[in-house]
Amino acid sequence: MVRHFKARLILWGCCVLLLSGCSFFIVEPTPTTPYSKTATLPLYKLERWSFEGRLSITGRTDSWTANIDWQHGFDKEKIKLSGPLGQGATHIELGKGVVTIDKGDGKAQTSNQPEAFINQQLGLSVPVQSLRYWVIGLPEPTQAFVETATGFKQSGWLIEYKQMQTVKATTMPYKINVTNEQVKLKLIVDEWLL
């Protein structure tokens, strides 16, 4: 009986030592690549890309969230904003100084003043033409900018790349904050297609 007790005690002691030793082998997640403008410079030459993600926009009096599907072509942007399960989809097509917005009611509207029209339709000021560059980690090439530790400031907006991800050996944004005095936009990119 004493022998069984000692054997069990030794067995339990070994189990405790093994289990406590496991805590030394916990795999820590690798840190994400920080934002680097020089790492993203080749993206200016990228003619086609798309992503799917989640977007939240907060203004002084209004806020909303949406799923976003953005397809960039050589001279055209196609943006789909939708609620859960694709409900309430709004399609924005932007190209050559013209924007078309279809809110799914069969009454697509077109304007040759893209920024003003999009802002009127969304109810918040969002720099969609600049976002075309910002979402891939680049400053808009025709505007001055100032680099910051996590991104840059451009046209009165602070663009911060909170987390980056590697897609086909290319560093791409994962979490982006775009803010000014009136609007805060947060974007999480779940999937890139380059």
The reply to whether 29 falls in a domain is no
CA dihedral 166, 172, 176, 181 (to 10 degrees): 150
| CA 99/CA 128 separation, integer angstroms | 11
pTM of the full structure: 0.79
The reply to whether 138 falls in a domain is yes
Q: Are 77 and 91 in contact (CB under 8 A)?
A: no
The reply to whether 45 falls in a domain is yes
User: How far is CA 124 from its chain centroid?
Assistant: 19
Position 43 confidence tier, pLDDT thresholds 50, 70, 90:
confident
Q: Which residues constitute the domain of residue 45?
A: 37-193
CA dihedral 61, 183, 135, 55 (to 10 degrees): -20
Position 87 confidence tier, pLDDT thresholds 50, 70, 90:
confident
The reply to whether 139 falls in a domain is yes
Give the helix, strand, coil percentages of the chain, each rounded to 5. Answer: 25, 40, 30
Position 25 confidence tier, pLDDT thresholds 50, 70, 90:
very low
The reply to whether 19 falls in a domain is no
Q: What pLDDT score was predicted for residue 27?
A: 31
- Higher model confidence: residue 101 or residue 29? 101
Instruction: Indicate the number of domains in the chain.
Output: 1
Position 10 confidence tier, pLDDT thresholds 50, 70, 90:
very low
The reply to whether 17 falls in a domain is no
Instruction: Give me the CATH number covering residue 88.
Output: 2.50.20.10
Average pLDDT for residues 39-66, to the nearest whole number? Answer: 90
Position 6 confidence tier, pLDDT thresholds 50, 70, 90:
very low
Nearest-5° Cα angle at 41, 96 to 175: 85
- pLDDT tens, residue by residue, 148-157: 999 999 999 9
**What is the percent of the chain with per-residue pLDDT over 70, rounded to a whole number?**
81
The reply to whether 10 falls in a domain is no
- pLDDT tens, residue by residue, 117-148: 988 888 878 888 899 999 999 999 999 999 99
Q: What pLDDT score was predicted for residue 118?
A: 86
Q: Which residues pair with 72 in a beta bridge?
A: 49, 77
The reply to whether 32 falls in a domain is no
